[in-house]
Amino acid sequence: MDAAVLVLAREGVRCAFGVPGAAINPFYSALRAHGGIRHILARHVEGASHMADGYTRAKAGNIGVCIGTSGPAGTDMITGLYTAQADSLPILCITGQAPRAKLHKEDFQAVDIEAIAKPVAKWAVTVREPALVPQVFQQAFHLMRSGRPGPVLVDLPVDVQVAEIEFDIDAYEPLPAYKPAASRRQIERAIAMMQAAERPLIVAGGGVINADACEELVRFAETTGVPVIPTLMGWGCIPDDHPLMAGMVGLQTSHRYGNATFLQSDFVLGIGNRWANRHTGSIETYTAGRKFVHVDIEPTQIGRVFGPDLGIVSDAKAALALLCQVAEEMRAEGRLEDRTAWSDACLHRKRTMLRRTHFDQVPLKPQRVFEEVLGHTGRDTCYVTTIGNSQIMAAQLLKVYEPRNWINCGQAGPLGWTLPAALGVRAADPERRIVALSGDYDFQFLIEELAVGAQHKLPYLHVVVNNSYLGLIRQAQRGFAMDFEVSLAFENVNAAEDPDAVPGYGVDHVAVAEGLGCKAIRVKSPNEFGEAFARAEALMEEHGVPVVVECILERTTNIAMGTEIDAVNEFEEVLCLDPRLSRENGWTPPEAEPADEKVPEEAATA
| CA gap 179, 107 in Å, rounded | 42
Residues 6+ away with beta carbon under 8 Å from 258: 229, 246, 247, 248, 249, 250
| CA gap 357, 369 in Å, rounded | 8
- Name the nearest CA neighbour of 132 among 162, 104, 165: 165
- Name the nearest CA neighbour of 242 among 332, 337, 133, 347: 347
| CA gap 241, 363 in Å, rounded | 32
Peptide bond into 420 cis (omega under 30): no
- Tell me if 38 sits within 8 A of 14, measured CB to CB: yes
The bridge status of strand 519-523 relative to strand 547-552 is: parallel
Residues 6+ away with beta carbon under 8 Å from 509: 440, 443, 447, 464, 466, 520, 548, 550
CA-based max dimension of the chain: 82
| CA gap 544, 541 in Å, rounded | 6
**Which helix H or strand E contains 396, and what residues bound it?**
helix 389-397
Q: Give the residue numbers annotated as catalytic, written as ranges.
A: 19, 45, 415, 470, 473
- Tell me if 261 sits within 8 A of 596, measured CB to CB: no
